[in-house]
Amino acid sequence: MAPRRPSEESRARGPATPCHPLPPAAVHRLSQYLRCFKQLEAQGVRSVSSLQLARSFHLSAAQIRKDLSLLGELGTRGVGYDVSVLVRSLSETLGVDTEHRLLLVGVGNLGSALALSPVFQRPPFRIVALFDRDPAKVGRVVAGVPIEPMTALARSVAEKQIRLGIVTVPSRAAPSVCRLLAAAGIRGILNFAPVVIPPPSGCVIRTVDLGLQLEELTYLLLHAPSS
């Protein structure tokens, strides 16, 4: 079924990333898997079976096999998967085998905290530019990066070739900031303001909404086991 050429040179320089239209649900899980594979790698584990993985991840073994088979035949029948192969393959598919430079707009409490987060203290993600509308903040340095005024945004994006952005401005300002980023060439945005933002063309916006997460929890609390 896999519409891939069974040529022997499987690790050739050519696109081992054959324009995958992976199911979104699978992408999410692959990301989780990658995290766990890296953990196993750090522990010195060389090989795992789908059953072992299932127990660690609290998922089904069939699910894991199907997800991994989407990337090609990564395992060895009768044996299992080689952890380092998994890490390499997943990293490549998800696009995290190269560095990604990010900018962050809105250096308030949340913005500062995110900029200082461990995620950005090692590859592949690195924050290389900070912006804030408040002139009093401009010039201050957070996480080793100086805060610039909004007027410097477009130029920085072009110069530093930034394609990803994080938006931690008040809800009111978020839609216009996202439009601004998209216009400057940003291709993907992680937005922390609790508002629905009209998606600019050519730019994906993913909103992380604390209140929404909490409401889903309260629903479960209300309509789940043991009242």
Partner DNA sequence: TCATGTGAAGCAGTTCACAGCG
Partner DNA sequence: CGCTGTGAACTGCTTCACATGA
Residue 44 near which of its own copies, DNA, none (CB within 5-8 Å, type-dependent)? none
Q: Which residues contact its own copies by CB under 8 A?
A: 17, 19-22, 24, 27-28, 31-32, 34-36, 56-58, 93-96, 100, 102, 108-110, 112-114, 116-119, 124-125, 163-164, 170, 187-188, 190, 194-196, 198-199, 202, 204, 206, 208, 210-226
For 76-101, b/e burial (b = at least 16 CB within 10 A) is eeeebbbbeebbbbbbebbeeeeeeb
Q: Provide the CA 97 distance to its chain's centre, in angstroms.
A: 12
Q: Which is nearer to DNA, 75 or 106 (CB)?
A: 75
Does residue number 63 form part of the binding site for DNA (CB under 7 A)?
yes
Cβ distance 132 to 138 under 8 Å?
yes
Q: Which stretch binds DNA (CB under 7 A): 8-16, 19-27, 100-108, 194-202?
A: 19-27
Nearer to DNA, 55 or 172 (CB): 55
Cβ-contact 153, 180 below 8 angstroms: yes
Cβ 120 to DNA, closest distance in Å? 29
The stretch near DNA (CB under 7 A) out of 21-29, 95-103, 145-153, 155-163 is 21-29
Q: Which residues pair with 103 in a beta bridge?
A: 129, 165
Q: Where are the alpha helices (DSSP H) in the chain?
A: 24-42, 50-57, 61-69, 83-94, 109-115, 153-160, 174-184, 210-222
Please, what is the minimum distance in Å from the beta carbon of residue 77 to its own copies?
27
The answer to whether the Cα torsion of 113, 100, 180, 160 is positive or negative is positive
How big is the site for DNA, counted in residues (CB under 7 A)? 27
**Is 76 a residue that touches DNA (CB under 7 A)?**
yes
With CB under 5 to 8 Å by kind, the binding choice for 222 among its own copies, DNA, none is: its own copies
- Cα distance from N-terminal residue to C-terminal residue, the chain: 48
Strands 145-148 and 141-142: antiparallel
β 80-82/125-131 pair status: unpaired
The minimum distance between CB 133 and its own copies, in angstroms, equals 17
By CB under 7 A, the residues from 28 to 57 that bind DNA are 48-51
How many Cβ atoms are within 10 Å of 60's Cβ, its own excluded?
A: 12
**Taking the complex as a whole, how short is the minimal distance between the CB of residue 81 and its own copies, in angstroms?**
17
Binding site for DNA (CB under 7 A): 1-2, 23-26, 48-51, 60-63, 65-66, 68-69, 73-81
